[in-house]
Amino acid sequence: MTEPEPKELYSLLIPLRGERLLVPRMCVAEVIAFAEAARNRDAAAPEWFLGSIEWNNRRVPVVSFDGPTPDERKSKRSRARVVVFHAITQKLKGGYYGILTQGFPQLVRVNPDVLGFDSEQGVPEGFPALCRARMIHEFPLIPDVERLEQMIADLPAAA
């Protein structure tokens, strides 16, 4: 009798400036070109909240945890993308939010042979991540999407 094949999960490696995120493919609704987010936020909003963009006739809040400065956005506009996520909690009224990336996400197949927990490298302070994974020669962050959605929902300008 043969061994059953290991279970695989199609995932995306999402490039940020200094990190990469690893998320299940099913969490992502679409990847779109970045258009300057409408700055419908007050001056007290944290730097990571870029504002909202129009997507499929919805206002979608967009965040960036290590995205480009405004000058870099102008010079690298063609590379900047927004990964639109399906919200997994009921905290966001619109049901979606976006994360600014530095290029196209890479589709990867994840299974127990290539993915493990990395206990040596830490998680950047203030970054909503559950942990850092070890994936062959990559060390992506696994985002804490529940915490991230709560952070966005707590912003008056994102409502």
Over residues 69-102, the pLDDT tens digits come to 555 445 445 678 999 999 999 999 899 999 999 8
The domain tally of the chain equals 1
The residue type of 32 is: I
Q: Is residue 3 part of a domain?
A: no
pLDDT in tens, 114-149: 888 887 888 888 889 999 998 888 899 999 999 999
Per-residue pLDDT, 68: 45
Q: What is the DSSP string of 43-56?
A: TTS-TTEEEEEEET
How does DSSP classify residue 71? H
Q: Is residue 1 part of a domain?
A: no
Q: Is residue 137 part of a domain?
A: yes
108 contacts 12 by C-beta, under 8 angstroms:
yes
- Phi-psi bin for 136: left (phi > 0), alpha (psi -120 to 50), beta? left
Q: Is residue 101 part of a domain?
A: yes
Number of H helices and E strands in the chain, helices first, is 2, 11
**Neighbour-count burial of 23, counting CB atoms closer than 10 A to its CB (0-12 exposed, 13-18 middle, 19+ buried):** buried
Instruction: Tell me the residue range of the domain where 106 lies.
Output: 9-158
pLDDT in tens, 6-47: 588 899 999 998 899 999 999 999 999 887 766 555 677 888
Q: Is residue 2 part of a domain?
A: no
Q: Is residue 4 part of a domain?
A: no
Tokens of 49: 């909240």
Q: Is residue 31 part of a domain?
A: yes
Helix (H, G, I), strand (E, B) or coil at 152: helix
Per-residue pLDDT, 98: 95
* CATH number of the structural domain spanning residue 69: 2.40.50.180
